Amino acid sequence: MPVLSGASGGEIAQGLAPLIGMEHLVLESRRFPDGEAYVRVPLESIDSVRSENVVLVSNTYPDSGILQTILLLGAIRDVRMGDLSNLKGEGDIDVGNVGPGIFLAIPYFGYARQDKRFSAGESVSARVLAEIVSRFCDGMVILDLHAPEVLQGMDVPIKYVSSMPEIAESLHRNVNPDFILSPDKGAISRASEVANLIGCEFSYLEKTRIDAHTIEHTPKDLDVSGKIVSIVDDMISTGGTICRASDALRRQGAKEVHAACTHGLFTGGALSRLANHVDGVYTTDSLPNPRASVSAAPAIARGLKELIS
Ligand code: R5P
């Protein structure tokens, strides 16, 4: 099964291919002078793309990634359908439809946090996005999706996978924490999985988000005095959640505080802010960032094996 990538996902696709015993093919992607995207399945890859099931690794983030993903899926679909007619007369255009078999692996699913209509008239953006990309593929693997419930009942099968086993392994090796903290109720299942895998203590905080840049935690006694603590979340954006949780841990005597997550967005100076609050930051490479030290490929490989079998 060829593992394909375009402008995003190249590194993960490269790591993924050997895990599922397949080749990595890079599709052509560039920009027209006006900024619009151009994608193409290169002539030399057409036979591979038609030969068996294919996986496209592509992020739906930032917004340009959404369009890139849709255009790549459209190009792959046409190639597999045998629709190769073109003005330059390139390629063997007398080929048939090879049928379904396009799988989309999304390391970071953008808009995941707009998973509810918080206010009347809003778009449930996560659902809308999934509805669009699912029209072009036969199944999806999504890594550490913020709240999978939003995608219930989609028309194609979806496997939700998690990098928490790899994050646990990395924290155990690099930090050896005594205590894992979930910075809000939403991260409890992920953070407690890490605590169980490492075999250390666990607790959580209750968080209220005042606005995109301001959060508050309900005060709680945590048994962290003199301990090494890792805060585990699905993503870090502004860093506000981690910084406030770290403040609470330091006030209660934590010796070291580290942060770990799957998706390192690090918006608006988050890394500098975090540097003043935590001793280390660990993320997967679902999004390229300077703290990406854990590969997302093994989790995606697990999901693909299940989805395709
Ligand atoms: C929200 O519930 C997520 O799990 C994260 O806690 C949140 O998105 C982190 O955002 P920030 O880094 O801006 O606090």
Same domain for 168 and 194, yes or no, is: yes
Q: How many Cα atoms within 13 Å fall on the side-chain side of residue 304?
A: 29
Shared domain for 24 and 144, answered yes or no, is yes
Do 107 and 218 fall into the same domain?
Answer: no
Is residue 111 situated within a structural domain?
A: yes
Distance (Å, whole) CA 296 – CA 284: 6
- Residue located nearest, by CA, to atom 10 of ligand 1: 237
Does residue 290 lie within any of the structural domains?
Answer: no
Same domain, yes or no: 216 and 145: no
Report the nearest-CA residue for atom 3 of ligand 1. Answer: 235
Q: What's the total number of domains in the chain?
A: 2
Domain with residue 199: its CATH number is 3.40.50.2020
- Note down the domain range covering 206: 164-285
Looking at residues 101-122, what average pLDDT do you find? 97
Of 285, 229, 299, 301, whose CA–CA distance to 8 is shortest? 285
> What's the number of CA atoms in the CB half-sphere (13 Å) around residue 167?
36
For 26-39, write each residue's pLDDT tens digit. Answer: 999 999 999 999 99
Pocket-forming residues, ligand 1, beta carbon under 6 Å: 113, 184, 186-187, 215, 233-241
Q: What distance in angstroms lies between residue 235's CA and the mean position of ligand 1's atoms?
A: 6
Task: Point out the ligand 1 atom lying closest to the alpha carbon of residue 238.
Answer: 13
Same domain, 33 and 128: yes
Q: Which atom of ligand 1 is nearest to the CA of 240?
A: 14
At 221-233, the pLDDT tens digits run 999 999 999 999 9
User: To the nearest whole number, what is the mean pLDDT of the chain?
Assistant: 96
Residues annotated as catalytic are: 207
pTM (2 d.p.): 0.96
Q: Which atom of ligand 1 is nearest to the CA of 237?
A: 12
Contacts 24+ apart (CB under 8 A), 134-137: 136/70, 136/73, 136/74, 136/77, 136/102, 136/104, 137/56, 137/73, 137/102, 137/103, 137/104
**CB within 8 Å of 252: residues ≥ 6 apart:** 221, 222, 224, 225
- Smallest Cα–Cα separation from 102: which of 119, 130, 81, 125? 81
